[in-house]
Amino acid sequence: MKTYLDCIPCFFRQALESARMSGAGKKGQKKILNELARILPKISLTASPPEMARIIHGMIRDMTKKNDPYLAIKKKSNRLALNIYPKLKKKIYHSRDKLLMAVELAIAGNIIDYGVKNLLNVEMELAKILDEENKAIKKENKTIFDYDRFKRDLNQAKTILYLADNAGETVFDRVLIEEIKENYKNKKIIYAVKEKPAINDALREDAFDCGIDKLGEVISSGSDAPGTVLSLCSKEFLKIYKKADMIISKGQGNFEALSRTKRSVFFMFMAKCSVIAKEVGCVIGDVILLYHSEKGNNG
């Protein structure tokens, strides 16, 4: 997916937030916004938003010398999510369709996203997910939800590549992966995180902190883009990407990067901005389980 003009104000918002997270003072923050204003007109909008974000956050890293400004946030997100892990399991245990509940929770966990919304009170959002009577997600928000196809493909797949999104969300991924391993025997799970810090995206250490390594192989995309931008991924990753029987892709960033890919992917994310909502044909707040076929078409 290309970058829309509406993404530009959002890049400035993200840059300001990241500058603050990096400990820049007011003058430093202004300098970063000025630098963004200088470089942005030079970047072609044919690049996807994660490619743009990678350049912007790289520029901030160079200016502030802060390698991983979201480290504390990521650790906190993991901790918060691990705290509610027993409740997530209980929720699934009491569900009629356990896999469906696990899928819904995995998407609900995508609310932990500091790239899109900065004022989001993650603790409050997580409490909301757990608080609702049985359902993790309201029916009216499931406008695009290819669950039947998901189950069918899951049944046939041997190797599943799972593209991670944010730290903390990894615990919700774990719950889904556990459910898959429980219900479908002999599945090989490969969980792909980012190679280096990319906003609050999960890295290897987050996957390990959240116990994913006990369920499958943890690899990296080979890149520091906050989305799976194939042209930036490692050869090793690309080999697995091409060969995997099934891909589960979490989050907006991965969707933005892969929305035109030529292989089949199940995208799972919450639609958090008007640009994405327009792109997939839903409204903000919708929970998306979108089957993208190998022909590059949706549906």
Task: Summarize as ranges the residues that interact with a copy of itself (CB under 8 A).
Answer: 5-6, 8-10, 12-13, 16, 26, 29-30, 33-34, 36-38, 40-41, 45, 119, 274
Q: What are the structure tokens assigned to 177, written together?
A: 């992966």
Name the minimum Å distance from CB 128 to a copy of itself: 18
Cα 289 from Cα 155, distance rounded (Å): 17
* Residue nearer to a copy of itself on the CB measure, 8 or 63: 8
Q: How far is the CB of 250 from a copy of itself (least distance, A)?
A: 26
- Minimum distance from CB of 288 to a copy of itself (Å)? 20
Q: Choose between 41 and 86: whose C-beta lies nearer to a copy of itself.
A: 41
- Residue 249's Cβ-count burial label (10 Å; 0-12, 13-18, 19+) is buried
Nearest approach in angstroms of CB 121 to a copy of itself is 13
Pairing state of beta strands 217-220 and 159-163?
unpaired
Q: List 289's β-bridge partners, or say none.
A: 145, 268
Tell me the pairing of strands 265-270 and 217-220. unpaired
Instruction: Measure Cα distances from 135 to 91, 140, 142, 283 in Å.
Output: 9, 12, 12, 20
- Alpha carbons 163 and 190: distance in angstroms, whole number: 8
Q: Considering beta carbons, is residue 28 or 58 the nearer one to a copy of itself? A: 28
Nearer Cβ to a copy of itself, position 29 or 221?
29
Q: Which lies closer to a copy of itself via its Cβ, residue 10 or residue 73?
A: 10
